[in-house]
Amino acid sequence: MGDEADEALWALVVAGDAAPYGVLWDRHRDRVFRHLLWLGFAAQDAEDLSAATFLELWRRRGAVRFVDGSALPWLLATAHNLARNEARARRRYRRFLAALPAPEPAPDPAVLVDGIDAARDARVGAVLSAARPADGRLLALTAVEGFSVKDAAAAVGISESAAKMRLSRLRRRLALVIEGRPVPEGEVP
């Protein structure tokens, strides 16, 4: 099947045999792709346009013209037309965006929050980074997600009493650094 002319393979495709379509794809996709690269498209755009070219081959299967038994000239002409359409659409889109009024500058959301303290935030981050991963998950499950300590402990895989103890220690360390007091000696921040 690989040595037959494109026109003979296409007759099989039109008759309902899908396998020759794959042969045509394998035979011509690289040439179509290179042609689109030569036209100046980026590789990912050339891939998309190559796929669109072969979609057109299928969609317009009754109108495909063969030159000396080959579908390649038709494919290249179709790829070129699709590329021109794509470039035209991009130009229209850029003109549309350029015509839009510039957005009004929005204030930085961080400025809108009262009491931002970068040093305090860094200390809190240090405490959370130094905590065991399971303790961080416990805190997230209880404080952020609203689970009970019992459910959070089951999710992490520890007992409820161990979870209460770990959360108590972590909350105490967080309270100390939020208030700006030093963490007692021997404790990890």
Q: Please tell me the pTM assigned to this model.
A: 0.53
Q: What share of the chain is helix, strand, coil (3-state, %, to 5)?
A: 70, 0, 30
Same domain, 92 and 56: yes
Number of domains in the chain: 2
What number is the average pLDDT over the span 8-27?
89
What's the confidence (pLDDT) of residue 117? Answer: 74
What's the confidence (pLDDT) of residue 157? Answer: 92
Domain boundary among the residues 61, 80, 99 is at: 99
Nearest of 189, 169, 41 to residue 53 by alpha carbon: 41
- Report DSSP state, residue 142: I
Three-state DSSP at 73 gives helix
Longest dimension (CA), the chain: 88
Same domain, 114 and 134: yes
What's the confidence (pLDDT) of residue 36? Answer: 94
Beta bridge partners of 70: 67
Domain boundary among the residues 47, 75, 99 is at: 99
Domain boundary among the residues 74, 99, 124 is at: 99
Instruction: Evaluate whether residue 75 is within a structural domain.
Output: yes
Instruction: Evaluate whether residue 15 is within a structural domain.
Output: yes
Domain range for 91: 6-99
What's the confidence (pLDDT) of residue 61? Answer: 82
Instruction: Evaluate whether residue 184 is within a structural domain.
Output: no
What's the confidence (pLDDT) of residue 15? Answer: 87
User: Which amino acid type is present at position 95?
Assistant: R
Q: Which residue has the higher pLDDT, 185 or 117?
A: 117
Nearest of 122, 124, 158 to residue 138 by alpha carbon: 158
What's the confidence (pLDDT) of residue 63? Answer: 85
Nearest of 10, 106, 125 to residue 60 by alpha carbon: 10
